[in-house]
Structure 1
Amino acid sequence: MRFPNALFFAALMALSATSAFSQGLTAVRDFSGDFGEDQPLTWSLSARGGYDSLSYEVPSPFLQDFESYYAQGGVGMTYADADPTTPWSMALDLGVIHYLDGIPRYDDTFYNARVAFNIAHQISQRLKISNNFYLTYEAEPNFATGGSTTLYNGQYLYGFNNFNVSYAWSQRFSTTTSLTVDGISYEDEVVSGLEDRLSVLIAQQFSYALSKRTSLAAEYRYRITDYRERDDVDAQSHFALVGVDHAWSERSTGSFRVGAEFFKSDRAENTSPYAEVAYSYLVARQTTARWFGSVGYDSAEIGGFDTRYAFRTGLNVSHQINKRVAVNGGVSYAYSTFDGGAGTDVTEHSLLLSTGISYQMLENLSLDARYSYSILQSDDSLREFDRNNISLGVTASF
């Protein structure tokens, strides 16, 4: 079940197209993109300064505490065209962050480069295709998606692409066929040998509309995951799912799937419950809320264990109080059980809390303050940590 190494990066780039501007949530199968409004081409320049501290319960040569002030700068670009036939959007973000006191094991300077591109095309009244693409080069863990490790492990490249074709066989019955490719590669050789992998997911969905706002769904998926540097944990899963999609309004939608995952790897073979839920709430540009949850087998941080079964959920909310002041907040939580392997089983809880406020000084100049707190509690005390990050920034847009 091995892919050539060259295919790892080629597969991520070959299927070009879209995704939300955050790590691709590969579990939840809503890849329509937000095409409700046109967004003119907008550029932004930002500068930020802050303080970052991370403390492990039991420091080791590979997991060391750090605390440092940092300076950060970046440039971004966004554009969206809500064309009725071919809506599309794109976003680009480039940045650099320098830690004044350095980070043990790594360089003092880290780089961020993120690009997202979403597109859909209505070929006919019955046939629609869409594609979602996201690629990021960064150094920050993402608790929500499980694509990266929970621990701070330096720079990595993560890519995600979903292509799907939908066909309406009648006014009520439709099918959607999709192909998703995602993968991750770390610069650190120790982490890379354990974590670098590529996953391919093929899905076939059958949908029946009970009304204009509510549809029932049945879905089959097949996923294969290949680790680049190891042969002992390559895995495949079959999914049998049912669910419902509901739109409370044009700007409020939800999706739910539940069923069984038939998991098999070189170390284990299990059948377990699988479920996922997603909710999106958009009101003009004043209030935005997104919530998701999923439970199933996870590919990250397997290490010497046979399997990792995880529940993940997250909520992000932003609100424009008035013309000048906006607030935002988010929470991500993951509960994981690691089974088998040479040692005892391990249970982990990870939590990320974030909040921020921004003030529009001028039409194209804003100030903001941010704070985030993350913690990992584990039966393995070597992995436990807590982290605080606070910063002030200024952004100019044009």
Structure 2
Amino acid sequence: MKRSFLTTLAAASVIGAVQADLYHVSEEAQESMPLKWTAGINLTWDDNVNPTAVGAGADDDAVSTNPYVGLSLVSITPQTTWDVYARVGAIYYFDEPKALGSEDLYGQFRAGVNFTHRVSERLRFSSRNHISYELEPDYAYGYATSRQVGEYLYWQTDNSVGYRWTERLATYTGFTLSELDYDSTVPNADRFTWTVYNQFRYQLTPQTVLTADYRYSETSGDGVASDSTNHYLLAGVEHRFSPNTIMIARVGAQFREVDSINGDNTTDPYAELMFNTRVNEAFMIRSFLRYGIEDYDTVVSTPFLTEFDSRKTLRIGLSGDYAISQKLSVFGGVDYIMSDFEDGRLVGTGLAAGGSPSEDLVNAYIGLSLKFTQNFSGDISYNYTDSSSDLPFRSYDRNRVNVGVRMEFE
């Protein structure tokens, strides 16, 4: 009972605020892994490299190359687990895109440090940290809605203390800091958020944990974007159907206050769901769903510059990979983002803006990966994105083809 409560389902919980990767189930690593290096290069053809561009650069196609190196390390002792990863690279366009603000060279960096220390059988401390600086949006992160001209910096740190009060009852208490920072080519888009949370956990059965969450967060907007405060009251369940299949679900209410003239205070439903399963040794499926009011991308042109107090967003993601043989595997996935903009106000006036525009984005990809040798492999993939929006200049479709090779060594 003790081990299953604090090291399996409890460890598998997505504690507090949503993690950077909405697919992620934060299970601790089970065994140490030595330092592993990765080096690779991708070649990409893009038929609409700046899909939100107007005028020069609209519908511009381009070919780019993306060299990179990376490392990963897992260290486990009876008391402490370290999980470290990093990747640095660059995107170079052979012909510089024509859109205003575009360049031919962009930096690319991702890194993370996950740390867990078990003080005793009852007490543990966890810290999950991630930082990325890159050009393309990753829809599984939970903030991107469309391709932007400039790079962005995103970082998040989530730190919590878990304590088992009885054989069945435990709590996780912690805080999260996150920031999204674009360069000057994307005004009014930067956000900084801090969150404190407490989660009660009750182990109903060896496979099932009931949860109750309270979260409080404050978000600071950039430029003309208003600050906001959000409270969340959630009830949930975490169930492990088998050693390889887990579901995490939470539903409840989001109480939102917008700090602006004539800003609205609202109460809305909120939900998040993850379901990950390894069907067999060859087939893995991951999925997520999140619905709530988001603080990102709230200032848009309608065509007048308008701030919306409510941007109700549904995000759904599904990805999987299947090993056809020891050397050949197929992978794919789809992301769907539906946004409804409500309670708009003309920036600088406080006057209500008519209309409630909506936006739908579908991003789908499929690819093949081939292992040439034990350490050398390659892949080819196709990615299609379609955005349908009531907002001006935000509807587009986009096709990308990528070919890459990589080498791994210890």
Band the TM-score falls in, shorter-chain normalisation: 0.7 to 0.9
The match for 2:105 is 109
Q: Give the drift of 1:365.
A: 0.9
Q: Which residue identity lines up with residue 165 of structure 2 in the other structure?
A: W
Does residue 136 of structure 1 match 2:132?
A: yes
| Percent of residue pairs bearing the same amino acid type | 30
The match for 1:213 is 207
Q: Which residue identity lines up with residue 308 of structure 1 in the other structure?
A: R
Return the match for 2:39 from 17, 24, 45.
45
The match for 1:329 is 332
Return the match for 1:94 from 77, 81, 88.
88
The match for 2:343 is 340
Q: Give the drift of 1:30.
A: 7.1
Q: Which residue identity lines up with residue 132 of structure 2 in the other structure?
A: T
> Secondary structure of the residue that 2:48 maps to in structure 1?
strand
The match for 1:239 is 232
The match for 1:350 is 361
The match for 2:287 is 291
How far apart in 2 are the matches of 1:28 and 1:391? Answer: 24
Q: Which residue identity lines up with residue 366 of structure 2 in the other structure?
A: T
After superposition, what is the alpha-carbon deviation per residue over 1:20-60, rounded to whole angstroms, capped at 9, x for unaligned? 9xxx7359697634413433211111012120121888862
Q: Give the drift of 1:205.
A: 0.7
Q: Give the drift of 1:340.
A: 2.5
- Alignment size in residue pairs: 374
In structure 2, do the counterparts of structure 1 residues 380 and 34 end up closer, same or farther at CA, with 3 Å as the change threshold? same
The match for 1:310 is 313
Q: Give the drift of 1:250.
A: 3.2
Name the TM-score, length of structure 1 as normaliser. 0.88
How is 1:135-284 mapped onto 2 (pairs within 5 angstroms)?
135-187=131-183, 189-191=184-186, 193-230=187-224, 232-266=225-259, 267-282=263-278
Q: Which residue identity lines up with residue 64 of structure 2 in the other structure?
A: Y
After superposition, what is the alpha-carbon deviation per residue over 1:272-311, rounded to whole angstroms, capped at 9, x for unaligned? 0001011233579744332111110111110122220101
How far apart in 2 are the matches of 1:381 and 1:25? Answer: 31
For structure 2, the residue ranges without an aligned partner over 5 or more in a row are 1-12, 300-305, 345-352
How far apart in 2 are the matches of 1:168 and 1:321? Answer: 44
The match for 1:374 is 385
Q: Give the drift of 1:81.
A: 2.6
Does residue 320 of structure 1 match 2:323?
A: yes
Q: Give the drift of 1:165.
A: 0.9
How far apart in 1 are the matches of 2:62 and 2:73? Answer: 35
Q: Give the drift of 1:64.
A: 2.7
How far apart in 2 are the matches of 1:233 and 1:143? Answer: 24
Q: Tell me if the contact between 1:164 and 1:176 (Cα under 8 Å) persists in the aligned partners.
A: yes
How far apart in 2 are the matches of 1:153 and 1:124? Answer: 49
Q: Which residue identity lines up with residue 136 of structure 2 in the other structure?
A: E
The match for 2:58 is 64
How far apart in 1 are the matches of 2:322 and 2:196? Answer: 37
> Secondary structure of the residue that 1:367 maps to in structure 2?
strand
Q: Tell me if the contact between 1:56 and 1:385 (Cα under 8 Å) persists in the aligned partners.
A: no
Give the aligned CA root-mean-square deviation in angstroms.
2.4
In structure 2, do the counterparts of structure 1 residues 30 and 203 end up closer, same or farther at CA, with 3 Å as the change threshold? farther
Q: Tell me if the contact between 2:192 and 2:221 (Cα under 8 Å) persists in the aligned partners.
A: yes
How far apart in 1 are the matches of 2:130 and 2:221? Answer: 20
Q: Which residue identity lines up with residue 203 of structure 1 in the other structure?
A: Y
Q: Tell me if the contact between 1:315 and 1:331 (Cα under 8 Å) persists in the aligned partners.
A: yes
How far apart in 2 are the matches of 1:324 and 1:117? Answer: 31
Q: Tell me if the contact between 2:126 and 2:159 (Cα under 8 Å) persists in the aligned partners.
A: yes
After superposition, what is the alpha-carbon deviation per residue over 1:343-365, rounded to whole angstroms, capped at 9, x for unaligned? 42111111111122111111111
Q: Tell me if the contact between 1:142 and 1:149 (Cα under 8 Å) persists in the aligned partners.
A: no
Bigger shift: residues 139-148 or 87-96? 139-148
How far apart in 1 are the matches of 2:118 and 2:65? Answer: 45
How far apart in 2 are the matches of 1:31 and 1:62? Answer: 43
> Secondary structure of the residue that 2:333 maps to in structure 1?
strand
How far apart in 2 are the matches of 1:386 and 1:165? Answer: 45
For structure 1, the residue ranges without an aligned partner over 5 or more in a row are 1-18
Does residue 79 of structure 1 match 2:73?
A: yes
In structure 2, do the counterparts of structure 1 residues 29 and 383 end up closer, same or farther at CA, with 3 Å as the change threshold? closer
Q: Tell me if the contact between 1:255 and 1:278 (Cα under 8 Å) persists in the aligned partners.
A: yes
Q: Give the drift of 1:82.
A: 4.1
How far apart in 2 are the matches of 1:387 and 1:242? Answer: 39
How far apart in 2 are the matches of 1:285 and 1:82? Answer: 25
Q: Which residue identity lines up with residue 40 of structure 1 in the other structure?
A: P
Q: Tell me if the contact between 2:52 and 2:148 (Cα under 8 Å) persists in the aligned partners.
A: no
